[in-house]
Amino acid sequence: MAYPSHTSTLDARLEGRTDGTQAVIDIAQRAGQPKALEPGHVYAFAVGDRLQQVDLTGPEHTGKPPRKSGTTVVRDVDSFLAYFDKHADENTEVYADFERRTITAILDAHTATDARWGGHRLTLALRTTPAWDAWMGMDNSLVTQAKFAEFIEDNLVDLVEPTAATMLELAESFEATTSAEFQSSQRLDSGQRKFSYVEDVKAKAGHKGDITIPATLTLALRPFEGTEPYKVTARFKYRLDRQQGSLSLGFKIERPEDILTAAFTDIRTLIDNGIPEEIAVLNGAPSSR
């Protein structure tokens, strides 16, 4: 006579039960099996009487930074607007700071109701041009004829009135009379200044001559990189040392700060016209982070 085994008897009893025991067993078996966790989520597990958390939202798990951050620096309006269009939203803030010569966009600025990081920034940092720096470097200085002539020759391209050709001829005259003795100056009705000189004062028949310089120079200079040229006026300066017979020359730029202000204002207007109407360009600087 054959008797059923203990195991087969237990299986038969479980199969016949309808109180959910099998379902509990199935759930327990599934829970005990390892399961892959997906990046970008936070998981919590009960371990004994403690709750253990697994955070998979960090960049080392997702392969992406948690948010946009950093400051991008550009040098012209077109570059500013291109980056702005790509990253800005309706809550972006823009600040124009003339003292620093910068225009800064806070691309993730606070909203009216919620705080945001304020760490993704775009800055237009303006730089003056080499031509502007060259003329400003000589502004309000008096130098020898030779040095002045060399400067004029090196920067003829910036001259509007008198013409480059006229100023080149004048520069050559200065170079040719570096050893002459200047004796007098006369202001003409046109505002120009005429200087009289003698090339060889020891000789009885020393060659005499005159050099006439204009009262002002008109220049076309770009104050900042990426801007259009602006009209700049410079007044001639001189010092005649009659004892030494020497002539020193120079010029004074008229109100250069006003030209920089006008150029910065025009740049601000270009940006204001290039961004959405609901975003205003504020006068000042953003808060520090």
Per-residue pLDDT tens digits for 130-143: 999 999 999 999 99
Tokens of 271: 């940006």
Q: Check residue 63 and give its pLDDT.
A: 59
CB 211 within 8 A of CB 233: no
Each residue's pLDDT tens digit, 161-218: 999 999 998 888 878 777 777 776 777 777 777 877 777 544 444 467 777 888 899 9
**CA 105/CA 271 separation, integer angstroms:** 11
**CA 159/CA 13 separation, integer angstroms:** 108
**CA 127/CA 102 separation, integer angstroms:** 10
- DSSP state letters, 124-170: EE--B-HHHHHHHHHBTEEE-HHHHHHHHHHTGGGEEES-HHHHHHH
Residues 6+ away with beta carbon under 8 Å from 86? none
**CA 215/CA 248 separation, integer angstroms:** 15
Res 106 pLDDT > 60: yes
CB 39 within 8 A of CB 62: yes
**How confident is the prediction for the chain on average, in pLDDT?**
82
Burial degree of 288 (CB within 10 A; 0-12, 13-18, 19+): exposed
Task: Give the mean model confidence (pLDDT) for residues 81-96.
Answer: 96
Q: Check residue 29 and give its pLDDT.
A: 52
Output the furthest CA–CA distance in the chain (Å, rounded).
159
pLDDT band (50, 70, 90) for residue 30 = low
Each residue's pLDDT tens digit, 248-285: 889 999 999 999 999 999 999 999 999 999 999 999 98
Task: Give the mean model confidence (pLDDT) for residues 25-43.
Answer: 64
Task: Give the mean model confidence (pLDDT) for residues 236-252.
Answer: 85
Task: Outline where the chain has alpha helix (H).
Answer: 6-15, 21-31, 59-62, 77-87, 130-138, 145-154, 164-176, 256-274
Q: Check residue 199 and give its pLDDT.
A: 73
Alpha-carbon torsion (264, 266, 270, 275), positive or negative: positive
Each residue's pLDDT tens digit, 3-17: 454 444 445 444 555
197 vs 91, 117, 194, 201, 239, CA distance in Å? 69, 71, 10, 9, 14
Helices 21-31 and 6-15 cross at an angle (nearest 10°) of: 110
Burial degree of 278 (CB within 10 A; 0-12, 13-18, 19+): exposed
**CA 34/CA 122 separation, integer angstroms:** 47
93 vs 33, 122, 123, 240, CA distance in Å? 52, 10, 12, 56
Res 229 pLDDT > 70: yes
Tokens of 121: 């920034």
Q: Check residue 201 and give its pLDDT.
A: 46
Res 44 pLDDT > 90: no
Q: Check residue 257 and give its pLDDT.
A: 96
